[in-house]
Structure 1
């Protein structure tokens, strides 16, 4: 089973630029074209939040229009730039989101890997929170099929990355999530977005990964007093390939670069 992960497209109303500077819409279209050219084609596409910049109706209409260009099933969770009810209205007809409450879901009918989506958004805030309600829901969901290979997706990573100005907006109560993950060794990955960079860390006995954004990258500034900034670095996506022996994750630039060349 091959699963593609895109993140943080920050789609804007047609004709406008992300932060007034970057054409995030065109960059997401390029990512979709890259997906369409992959051989073999992914079986499933995940979007780990911040589909839109302002959660405006025009942005969600554009999101649906662009996502219609993806042949595979798409599972998406909201980020801090989305808005829960606007997100539910935009994607509720796809059948995997609940009709009320947080937008948690479990999708297990697409292939051998179960995908669990967690809505850790805090309305009106930019940080996330894995609260007691989310913990109870996740525990029950994992316990229903404790040996099923599983991916858990959430927007803000529940760890400190070392980039202080983004860590202030992480998912809080990450220790609560790590304790649950540790009880279920079948959790192959914990997948996040939000930080606009690819980061990996052991987490609850599993592996936590963040996907890069399809638009700008948060500056890798590790000094405690570093000023926030972003760069237009080469955007990328992640490909998670599952076989009966486990999951392998590949980092794939959206621009394929020069090649193929006749050597390896």
Structure 2
């Protein structure tokens, strides 16, 4: 089973540049072309949030137009730049939730079960997993304890070390505590995950960089943006900054005959870049 993960599209209405600089609509078109060129093709695509930049219906209409050539099933969760109702209205098949406070659901039709978890606290940059969402996740995991399961959500539960991203909290009681993640309820999530043994991993967006770690014994993955990346500045006073590193998606591989290997993730870069470059040994001789 192959899953393509696309995240942090930030498409703006009328193809306006995000932040006045980034042509996110063209970046998404390039990502679609890239995915459709893959052989073998992915079994499904997960869009892990920030589909639009302001959550406007006009943005989602443009995204739908760009995604029209895709003939692979795809699913979406909202990010902090999205608005639930507008996203549901534009993509009723990709967000199969007709009503309710949250846009979260379970995908059951593949060898790897997928739980789409809503971390949106609408109108804020931080994420939130309230008691209701954590209880729902616990119920879904308890329903099929023997089925390998991937959780996809927008906000990572971890501290990435990129302070201006980790500081997207604005949470009561957190203040400027650099040890608090930008996801309220992260410790509650850890408790739920600890109660279930079938979790293959948690994959996220939001941070605009490929980041991986083992968190409370569970593999956590963050996919890079298809539009622009966040500068990997680990200084305590590092400013909010973006750069134009090569855009990428991630490809997750699940092999039913190798469950002990877990979920295998590759970063797949979009577009053509200089290289590959030759390598030389210590004596300056070309290594072929």
Query: What's the TM-score once normalised by structure 2's chain length?
Result: 0.87
- How far apart in 2 are the matches of 1:204 and 1:139? 16
Give the secondary-structure state (helix, strand or coil) at the position aligned to 1:157: coil
Does structure 1 residue 102 correspond to structure 2 residue 102?
yes
The answer to whether structure 1 residue 229 and structure 2 residue 245 are counterparts is: no
1:96-145 deviations in Å (ceiling 9; x for gaps): 22422201110111x11111111111121110011111110000001110
The answer to whether the 8 A contact 1:117-1:154 is kept is yes
CA displacement at 1:204 relative to structure 2: 3.1
Q: 1:39 to 1:160 in 2, by over 3 A?
A: same
> CA contact under 8 A between 1:155 and 1:193: conserved in structure 2?
yes
Structure 1 runs of 4+ with >4 Å offset: 256-261
- For 1:177-192, what aligned pairs fall within 5 Å after superposition? 177-192=189-204
CA contact (8 A) 1:181 1:205 kept: no
**Counterpart-to-counterpart distance in 2, 1:239 and 1:106:** 20
Task: State how many pairs are aligned.
Answer: 262
> Does 29-38 or 63-72 show the bigger shift?
63-72
1:235 deviation in Å? 0.6
Determine if contact 1:98/1:105 at 8 Å carries over to the other structure. Answer: no
The reply on whether 1:242 has 2:254 as its aligned counterpart is yes
Whole-Å separation in 1 of the counterparts to 2:187 and 2:253:
27
| Structure 2, gaps ≥5 residues long | 169-181, 278-286
What whole-Å deviation, never above 9, does each CA across 1:135-184 have from its counterpart, x for those lacking one?
Answer: 10000001110111111011111111011110022212211111211222
> Where do 1:106-117 residues align within 5 Å?
106-109=106-109, 111-117=110-116
Looking at structure 1, the residues matched to 265 and 98 of structure 2 have their Cα atoms a distance apart, in angstroms, of 29
Structure 1 unaligned spans of 5+: none
SS of the counterpart of 2:47? strand
Q: CA RMSD in A?
A: 1.8
Q: Corresponding residue for 1:124?
A: 123
Identify which of 202, 213, 232 aligns with 1:201. 213
Task: Provide, for residues 217-238 of structure 1, a one-character-per-residue CA deviation record: whole Å limited to 9, x for no partner.
Answer: 1111101111111001101111
2:21 aligns with: 21
Secondary structure at 1:194's aligned position in 2? coil
Please identify the structure whose Cα radius of gyration is greater: 2
Structure 1 length-normalised TM: 0.94
Q: What is the CA–CA distance in structure 2 between the aligned matches of 1:63 and 1:125, rounded to whole Å?
A: 22
Q: What is the aligned partner in structure 2 of residue 253 from structure 1? A: 269
